Amino acid sequence: MPHLFARRCPDGANVCGPREYFQTEIFIVFTYAPSSCVSPLITTIRFITEHKYNKMRHIIKILIAFFISLLTIWFLGAFLLTTPTICQKDEIIGLPIPIPGTMKRERKENWNTFYYGELGLEASDAQRVTSTSPKILLFGDSYVEANMVAPEDRIQAQLSAKGTPCIGIGISGNRCVEYNHLMNIYDHIISNVHTNILLIADISDILPPNKTTDFKSLRPVYPFRKIEGKLGFLSYRLRLMAFRNILKKTEICFRNGLDFTGNHWRREKTYTLDTSSHKQYYEAYWRDMLNTLKISSNDKKLLIVYVPIVPRIQNNAIITEDKETEIFKQFDKVSHEFGLVGNGILNLEKRFCDFTLTTHQFPRGFFNTCPGEGHLNADGHRIVAEAIIEELLK
């Protein structure tokens, strides 16, 4: 079968002669025959090996891309997302409080980082507890908690700078009806307190939470604080906030029974009433609430400060009129019966509006939020602190 060996010979001829036949046969058998006709098995093995190599290389690429994606998500979550507040139930206070020594990093509004100290307070507030001087306790919700404001710019720090130690006790989501219990607790734990200040940042804080007339059943309620399980604490330690948020959004943790979110302390949704048709109901609720607050203050001075939602931007215009003024006026009228500091509620509406109209700045909002919206910034805290100082000096 000469055609099987019809190849160019070493001397350049088209077909090998008798003399070169043996050399050509060896060359073909060892070089060409195994892959073409002598061993189909070897050819198959080569094909499978190359196919598996390409497939394995493809899998390796996918795994590398997957781990790079995980590292990217971890990096973004570790440095660019707000950290969860890691809480455990305190035996003395009887409530879930932030664990002393844990860090809180805020990224939704402003960029701020601080640490918690004893009693669930911010570290500098916790240090003021040990002072032997007369103290002021400032109660409020997230406006007093003020995660988005540096500790040295907060209301309590500016009041303390004037000579009287002030301790901020803020729990996000709290309403006036919850402060009765908190005042009783902290007034007994913290010594030498002479004034309690209550900061109201939303008119809904003083509205009844439901239709019931049994006001005693509304107290106490502890919203939004959650006790973290081991997985939640581990996610904090390893900075797995991004993955934690993904699990919470997709509710995988609930479907699989993983305790990432802990035990929630829930409250009922606020039930808003019409002031014109339910005036008596409102006034009865406010009298009961203020009387209980006064009792909880243990005969200490009580000052209530109202932070309005104005000024704000709406339809390309600065709004300086508070739509909740009528409800507030009714509440202020009732408050005159209880001997508060200033003989009523300290309303900061005029101060806030004057500040904006004069400086063209807003007491609310940060560089990463809309102007005039959200929580109080450093300017807002300064305005509140100055107003409180003037009121107390009177």
Q: Are residues 39 and 176 in the same domain?
A: no
Domain end position, chosen among 10, 43, 78? 78
The 10s digit of each residue's pLDDT in 112-161 is 999 999 998 999 999 999 888 999 999 998 999 999 999 999 999 999 99
Q: Are residues 188 and 42 in the same domain?
A: no
Integer Cα distance of 303 and 158 in angstroms: 17
Measured from the Cβ of residue 81, the count of other Cβ atoms closer than 10 Å reads: 16
- pTM score, whole prediction: 0.76
Q: Are residues 65 and 117 in the same domain?
A: no
What's the token pair of residue 216? 């005693």
Does residue 238 lie in a domain region? no
Nearest to 220 by CA among 166, 169, 161, 176: 176
Does residue 245 lie in a domain region? no
Phi then psi for 219, rounded to 5 degrees? -125, 145
Does residue 237 lie in a domain region? no
Q: Are residues 37 and 172 in the same domain?
A: no
DSSP 8-state symbol, 305? E
Q: Are 123 and 104 in contact (CB under 8 A)?
A: no
pLDDT at 388: 95
Does residue 288 lie in a domain region? yes
Does residue 179 lie in a domain region? yes
R_g over Cα of the chain: 36
Domain end position, chosen among 46, 78, 110? 78
What's the token pair of residue 313? 């931007």
Does residue 384 lie in a domain region? yes
Q: Are residues 132 and 196 in the same domain?
A: yes
Give me the domain span that covers residue 173.
102-224+268-393
Q: Are 162 and 386 in contact (CB under 8 A)?
A: no
Measure Cα distances from 230 to 242, 258, 359 in Å: 17, 10, 48
Domain end position, chosen among 43, 78, 113? 78
pLDDT at 272: 45
Pairing type for strands 312-314 and 317-319 reads antiparallel
Sign of the dihedral defined by the CA atoms of residues 26, 31, 32, 35, in that order: positive
Q: Are residues 107 and 65 in the same domain?
A: no
Domain total in the chain: 2
Does residue 232 lie in a domain region? no
pLDDT at 185: 85
Sign of the dihedral defined by the CA atoms of residues 187, 305, 201, 220, in that order: positive
Q: Are residues 196 and 325 in the same domain?
A: yes
Q: Are residues 131 and 195 in the same domain?
A: yes
Q: Are residues 55 and 131 in the same domain?
A: no
Does residue 240 lie in a domain region? no
Residue 375: alpha-carbon gap to chain centroid:
13
CATH number at residue 126: 3.40.50.1110
Integer Cα distance of 62 and 94 in angstroms: 50
Nearest to 220 by CA among 265, 260, 172, 165: 265
Q: Are residues 319 and 207 in the same domain?
A: yes
Integer Cα distance of 118 and 164 in angstroms: 20
Per-residue pLDDT of the chain (394 residues; tens, 9 = 90+): 444 444 444 444 444 444 444 444 444 444 444 444 446 656 666 666 666 667 788 888 889 999 999 899 888 888 888 888 888 888 888 788 888 999 998 988 999 999 999 998 999 999 999 888 999 999 998 999 999 999 999 999 999 998 889 999 998 877 777 787 888 888 889 989 999 999 998 777 887 765 444 444 444 444 445 556 667 777 778 888 777 777 766 654 444 444 333 333 333 334 344 545 567 878 888 888 888 888 888 878 899 999 988 898 888 888 888 888 888 888 899 999 888 887 789 999 999 999 999 999 999 999 999 889 999 999 999 999 999 999 998 7
Q: Are residues 64 and 136 in the same domain?
A: no
Q: Are residues 124 and 156 in the same domain?
A: yes
Integer Cα distance of 371 and 363 in angstroms: 9
Q: Are 364 and 322 in contact (CB under 8 A)?
A: no
pLDDT at 214: 43
